[in-house]
Amino acid sequence: MNKTIIIPRTLANRLLTFAQAAPQAEICGLISTDTNNKYRVYPIDNIADDSGCIFEMNPQQQISAFKQIRDEQQELFAIYHSHPNSEALPSKKDQQDAAYTDALNIIISLNTKGVLDMRGYFYREDGVETVDLIIE
Ligand SMILES: [Zn+2]
């Protein structure tokens, strides 16, 4: 049985809005949370040359987002990115680049017109673990 993780609808809608605002490029960023279940989204620029099908986070922005998360005693909840032209399935590169085996990875797909396709994964050392995201 897959692990289930609840995503607040307002958070899901924000991620979808970011993705829809950039239909040509993958968007990416971090989400933190705290003990009160407050979520913060840190959008980060995708600096990949081929940003339509891969993402590479701007390193300075990534470092400062992690610093802010630490300073505010929050913890990393998820790493998100979008797939403008493909399904919400992790690519080979997504899995190879994964540095945080404890962080949830959220992929938002714009491939399915009108339907929110947001899926979650953990990239474990022994493979991909699919998570059931419950948006409520
Ligand atoms: Zn991807």
pLDDT at 115: 73
Task: State the residue range of the domain holding 115.
Answer: 3-135
Q: How is 53-74 classified by DSSP, letter by letter?
A: T---B-HHHHHHHHHHHHHTT-
User: How do residues 79-92 score in pLDDT, each as one tens digit?
Assistant: 999 999 999 999 99
Which CATH number is 37's domain given?
Answer: 3.40.140.10
Q: What size, in residues, is the chain? A: 136
Q: How far is the CA of 120 from the centre of ligand 1 (A)?
A: 12
Neighbours of ion ligand 1 (CB under 5 A): 91, 94
CB atoms within 10 A of CB 74: 18
CA 101, 132, 27, 33 torsion-angle sign: negative
User: How do residues 28-57 score in pLDDT, each as one tens digit?
Assistant: 999 999 988 899 999 999 999 999 999 999
The predicted model gives 54-66 an average pLDDT of 97
pLDDT at 126: 86
% helix, strand, coil for the chain, step of 5: 25, 40, 40
Integer Cα distance of 133 and 31 in angstroms: 15
Task: Give me the phi and psi of 51, to 5 degrees please.
Answer: -70, -10
Contact (CB, 8 A) for 6 and 134: yes
- Assign 98 a pLDDT band (cuts: 50, 70, 90): confident
Contacts of 9 (CB under 8 A, 6+ apart): 135, 136
Q: How far is the CA of 91 from the centre of ligand 1 (A)?
A: 5
Give residue 86's identity as a one-letter amino acid code.
S
Asked whether residue 75 carries a pLDDT value surpassing 80, the answer given is yes
Asked whether residue 67 carries a pLDDT value surpassing 70, the answer given is yes
pTM for the structure as a whole: 0.94
Q: How far is the CA of 113 from the centre of ligand 1 (A)?
A: 18
Number of structural domains (the chain) is 1
